[in-house]
A and B are shown apart, each in its own frame.
Chain A
């Protein structure tokens, strides 16, 4: 019986995940897509909240998701509301951009054959970028928070010394 002298084996990335693993990838991709939709719905709810707040005219606080701003008067309510909405829109756009790409790559792992490992790595690389930006935003938030605390303490000390 003749055997081929050389068997090349599968190409790099030729590993195929089983159905149980593919189910995990599908679920993760699905949850990411739902999260993007939830972010969009949060943006819409925020826009409605700003509109209602401005129409009520006597409101003093505008809230869009977790972003809350103290305002005074109709013009300030509109400006504050749009500012909060803009911050939420930027965050939602950032989430949609990175999670959309990652979710598509995770779905490709589950739904295609022959490229599971490269697709997995592409999905994780998108996750790395997402959490990388999130990390720097959080660090920036810490710096601003610390700065605000120092200013608050200084202001309190100045008012006590008077």
Chain B
């Protein structure tokens, strides 16, 4: 069990839906709820921008080659980021609503943010490479 509470930890008794027995306070749930709500909107818009952007910028890659690559990479990145945020949002929302195990859901939500930042990092570095490459070709 990865998230077992230490002896004497505060929290409610263990139940079927909350095996770790840990409960965040109402104020903490508000933070999870606010973050989940923002992630929901951002993920939907990112997927929308990603799909539209990919369709619009793909011809640029064909027509302009490396010069059109940066925008295309950004669009594909937005699409992937939107999809990863959808998954993180679902876990964080469970903490906010108190459904399921608080600690497991919180950890899954935090872990779900990793692919978002990994994608952001990789796409930014590829865009830097594309920008510099466009200067020499």
Contacts and interface: CB of A to CB of B under 8 A. Distances in A.
Interface residues of B, number: 44
Interface string B22-63: 101100100110110011011001100100000000000000
A18 to B, nearest CB: 6
Contacts of A70: none
Contact of B45 (A7, A17, A142): A142
Contacts of B106: 120
Given A38-B128, A63-B70, A131-B39, A138 B46 contact: yes
A18 B2 contact: yes
Q: Main secondary structure on chain A at its contact with chain B?
A: helix
A131 B71 contact: no
Contacts of A120: 106, 110
A32 interface: yes
Interface string B100-135: 000000110011011001101100110110011011
B3 A18 contact: yes
Given A20-B2, A21-B107, A38-B124, A132 B38 contact: yes
Contacts of A117: 24, 28
Given A35-B117, A35-B120, A38-B125, A64 B131 contact: yes
Interface string A1-35: 00000010110101111101100110110011011
Nearest to A130: B38
B114 A21 contact: no
Interface string B5-31: 110111000000000001011001001
B8 to A, nearest CB: 5
Contacts of B34: 128, 132
Nearest to B27: A121
Nearest to B52: A145
Nearest to B45: A138
What 10 A-B pairs come out closest when comparing CB atoms? A131-B38, A66-B74, A38-B124, A128-B35, A31-B117, A138-B45, A45-B128, A128-B34, A45-B131, A35-B121
